[in-house]
């Protein structure tokens, strides 16, 4: 990118405004063009300055972050990163913000912890750069906003025009990250109640956020959706969300029972929960009868597991670029020629319903 990425910071805390500014401008490709101390100021500046991306606090005077977000998405759609409190209430507000069109979030408390400041800074800068780098993101935001009203098919979305065989799949393992909460809220309700195999999902999120997400998804979906619990038996027709801060694995117990294991090991993985860790565990149990799905997100988590699945003769679906918020994780699969189908988000549940 030739021009610097322009950022607007909206937060009622002077400390947070300063901290975020210092972290962001430590990267030479990013400039903070203005700051605002409440949602009204943020909305006014967003309309006036049209920044590439906004960091937006939730709890603010005059106008709160959720109200400001609604107005921004209605009048000047822009990439928004929420600054979120790592509490149950903060998690619920963040899930609502992601429904309203925010792309992702950064944890607020961690910005105060000096021992973590380097990792927080790196994550923040990476998110800002990856989100803004996406082609036509503002157009994509407008389309994502329209999903709230009508999740319709896009004929351009079917890139690889073939289908997967109906071959007795025994589990679905799905990995998703940036842009995932809104996407999951749109696709999981489209999965038929006749789908009678377990679905395991890793959505990169901190603790508490995944529970709020699972509860929201359960209220929308025909199948039961829950945050996975340690040592619970795996059941068909249930969608399991990996808890934030933990890996989700499967283990055989006795001759017939398969249990979920919630663990911090491996401790050295880049993400926790990790798509690779979850998928590899599912593949170890179900082999080529695992259906692997990789959707919107940064990086390449899930790549190694999909490579393993393909080596066993299994099948993989990747989300297409047009419907992704960040085309990173699926791109790694597509570029390596590991995807059997490349589909828009809404085509994925259609395919699941048809082949399972």
Entry pTM: 0.86
Which residues belong to the active site?
177, 204, 301
Could you tell me where in the chain the CATH 3.40.50.2300 domains are found? 5-147
Per-residue confidence (pLDDT) for residue 242, from 0 to 100: 98
Bridge partners (DSSP) listed for residue 8:
34, 54
Going residue by residue through the chain (356 aa), what tens digit of pLDDT does each one get? Answer: 468 999 999 999 998 899 899 999 999 999 999 999 999 999 999 999 999 999 999 999 999 999 999 999 999 999 999 988 777 788 899 999 998 989 999 877 644 444 455 667 888 998 899 888 875 554 555 555 555 544 444 433 444 446 788 879 999 999 999 989 989 999 999 999 999 999 999 999 988 899 999 999 999 999 999 999 999 999 999 999 999 999 999 999 988 899 999 999 998 888 899 999 999 999 999 999 999 999 999 999 999 999 999 999 999 999 999 899 889 999 999 999 999 999 999 999 999 999 99
The CATH architecture assigned to 5-147 reads 3-Layer(aba) Sandwich (3.40)
Q: How far is CA 295 from the centre of its chain?
A: 8
Give the pLDDT confidence score for residue 117 in this predicted structure. Answer: 59
Q: Where in the chain is the domain with CATH 3.40.50.180?
A: 158-355
Can you name the CATH fold of 158-355?
A: Rossmann fold (3.40.50)
Of 104, 112, 94, 107, nearest to 53 by C-alpha is: 104
Structure tokens at 305: 């597991």
Segment holding 285, helix H or strand E:
helix 275-286
């Amino acid at each position: 990118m030739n021009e610097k990425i322009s950022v607007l910071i909206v937060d009622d805390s002077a400390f947070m405004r300063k901290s975020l500014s210092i972290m962001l401008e430590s990267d030479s490709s990013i400039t903070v063009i203005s700051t605002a101390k409440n949602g009204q100021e943020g909305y006014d500046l967003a309309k006036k300055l049209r920044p590439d991306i906004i960091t937006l606090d939730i709890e603010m005077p005059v106008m709160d972050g959720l109200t400001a977000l609604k107005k921004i998405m209605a009048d000047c759609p822009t990439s928004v990163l929420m600054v979120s409190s790592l509490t149950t209430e903060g998690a619920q507000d963040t899930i609502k913000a992601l429904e309203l069109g925010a792309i992702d979030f950064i944890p607020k408390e961690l910005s105060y912890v000096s021992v973590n400041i380097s990792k927080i800074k790196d994550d923040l800068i990476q998110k800002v750069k990856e989100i803004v780098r996406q082609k036509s993101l503002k157009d994509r935001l407008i389309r994502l906003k329209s999903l709230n009203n009508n999740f319709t098919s896009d004929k351009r979305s079917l890139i690889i025009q073939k289908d997967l065989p109906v071959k007795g799949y025994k589990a679905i393992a799905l990995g998703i990250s940036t842009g995932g909460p809104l996407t999951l809220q749109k696709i999981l309700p489209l999965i038929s109640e006749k789908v009678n195999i377990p679905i395991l999902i890793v959505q990169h999120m901190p603790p508490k956020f995944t529970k709020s997400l699972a509860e929201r998804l359960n209220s929308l979906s025909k199948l039961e959706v829950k945050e996975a619990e340690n040592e619970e038996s795996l059941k068909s027709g249930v969608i399991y969300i990996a808890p934030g801060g933990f890996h989700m694995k499967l283990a055989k117990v006795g001759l017939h029972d398969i249990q979920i294991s919630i663990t911090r090991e491996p401790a050295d993985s880049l993400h926790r929960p990790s798509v690779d860790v979850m998928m590899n565990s599912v593949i170890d149990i179900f082999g080529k009868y695992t259906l692997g799905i990789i959707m919107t997100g940064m990086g390449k988590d899930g790549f190694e597991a999909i490579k393993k699945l393909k080596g066993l003769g299994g099948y993989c679906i990747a989300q297409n670029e047009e419907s992704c918020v960040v085309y990173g994780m699926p791109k790694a699969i597509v570029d390596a020629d590991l995807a059997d189908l490349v589909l828009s988000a809404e085509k994925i549940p259609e395919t699941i319903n048809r082949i399972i």
